[in-house]
Amino acid sequence: MTEQNNELPELQVGTTITGKVIKVEEKQVLVDIGYKTEGIVPIGELSSLHVEQAGDVVNEGDELTLKVKKIDDDEVVLSKKAIDADQAWVELEEKYKSGEIFETEVKEVVKGGLVVDVGVRGFIPASLVETYFVEDFSDYKNKMLAVKIAELDKDQNRIILSHRAVAEDEAQAKKGELLQSLEAGQVLEGTVQRITNFGVFVDLGGVDGLVHISQLAHKHVEKASDVVSEGEKLKVEVLSVDMDNERISLSHKNTIPGPWSDIESRFSAGDTVEGTVRRLVNFGAFVEIEAGVEGLVHISQIANRHIGTPQEVLEVGQKVNVKILDVNENEERISLSIKELEQEQAEKEYKQYAKDEDQSGFQLGDFIGDKLNKYK
């Protein structure tokens, strides 16, 4: 290809040639293609992406493979974009068929998603960027993202890519590994993700487990939101793992001291405490003396007199003073008595009465004695 003329008979539109960049102007590049006439690569033919200046894509001295786009008199218009696209489409079709994951750079943030360079212009819709909602995509510019091809149509020049699919695959793989590593009895820390009327879902680092409302605290919980809040770190114990259904049952209650823990250091036989009647049964009354700690007042210990049922004397919600008869931490049992307090009170009142009587008697005797002395 050394013939020197202005007609350039060897060149045809669609021909692939190589050339060397000899001049980079703002909006075009001049290329030595071995002919008297230099080839011109307009800025729009340098890349499938928007280019501000030709120097952003090529430099003087670069060797380029180009396709002839137009031959007009002494002007030869060439395209780098066309060669890049041909090669890119071959590679993209292979990646699409194999489901390959590859990295690409975000070139532009546009309305509705991200523009990337995959040899041709590729697009990642906003819904396929992440597994979660993104308010502002400005931080994604120039960022490398791992993607899979979601849709490919060469005739329409349409390439849709997804980073979300990659993130979901990674999350699923991580979830599987985590599920395999979990076993009953493990104590972990997680983050409260979601609160429902039946409990809370806790993220253990890629997989959620359920803490049923009955496993949130040792005391009765009406609403889970009374005990925990979304985003809170929570220590939990694994109760069970259902691999087939990917369900994990957790307990927060098992990781915190129970109300009966170290109970004997707080309550001793002989102590008098105030409590609230929580339940009445035919053999007595259960009285709560501390959150989650109920003791039994046997029916024989309710009153000094004989009663047929506890309801004759007590009602649920009533505040009562009780005397502790016995504390057993291992069996989580406390025996209480109301009768003994009544007896003690009665004895105290009787002694006070007797004392008052004695004092009153001595005063009367002294008075009578003084009067008698006067008559002597």
- Fill in the DSSP letter of residue 121: E
- Measured CA to CA, the distance from residue 115 to residue 129 in angstroms comes to 11
pLDDT of 140: 95
- Is the CB of residue 322 less than 8 Å from the CB of residue 272? yes
Range of the domain at 314: 263-341
Given 98, 114, 146, the domain boundary residue is 98
- Fill in the DSSP letter of residue 256: S
| Residue-wise burial string across 272-310, b where 16 or more C-beta atoms lie within 10 A, e elsewhere | ebebebeebeeebbbbbbeeebbbbbebebbbeeeeeeb
Look at the chain and report how many structural domains it folds into: 4
pLDDT above 80 for 287: yes
Could you tell me if 14 and 77 lie in one domain? yes
Q: Which of 43-47, 160-164, 226-230 has the highest mean pLDDT?
A: 160-164
Average pLDDT, the chain: 87
Report the percentage of the chain scoring pLDDT > 70: 91
Q: What is the pLDDT of residues 192-239, one digit of tens each?
A: 999 999 999 999 988 899 999 999 988 788 999 998 999 999 999 999
Query: Phi first, then psi: what are they for 209, rounded to 5°?
Result: -120, 155
Could you tell me if 77 and 113 lie in one domain? no
Neighbours of 321 (CB within 10 A): 14
Could you tell me if 19 and 88 lie in one domain? yes
Containing 328, the helix (H) or strand (E) segment is strand 319-328
pLDDT of 209: 93
Q: What is the pLDDT of residues 292-308, one digit of tens each?
A: 899 999 999 999 889 99
Confidence of residue 368 (pLDDT cuts 50, 70, 90): very low
Could you tell me if 224 and 134 lie in one domain? no
Could you tell me if 4 and 76 lie in one domain? yes
Coarse DSSP helix, strand, coil percentages of the chain, rounded to the nearest 5 percent: 30, 35, 35
Q: Which amino acid is at 184?
A: A
pLDDT of 238: 95
Q: Which has more pLDDT, 291 or 169? A: 169
pLDDT of 9: 47
Q: Is residue 336 part of a domain?
A: yes
Whichever domain contains 268, its CATH number is 2.40.50.140
- Measured CA to CA, the distance from residue 223 to residue 221 in angstroms comes to 6
Task: Name the token pair of 132.
Answer: 């979660």
- Measured CA to CA, the distance from residue 317 to residue 280 in angstroms comes to 10
Query: Phi first, then psi: what are they for 159, rounded to 5°?
Result: -130, 110
pLDDT of 360: 56
Query: What is the length of the chain?
Result: 376
Could you tell me if 68 and 161 lie in one domain? no
Q: What is the rounded average pLDDT of the residues 22-46?
A: 85
Q: pTM of the predicted model, to two decimals?
A: 0.52
Among 347, 342, 348, 346, residue whose Cα is nearest residue 300: 342
- Fill in the DSSP letter of residue 207: S
Could you tell me if 237 and 297 lie in one domain? no
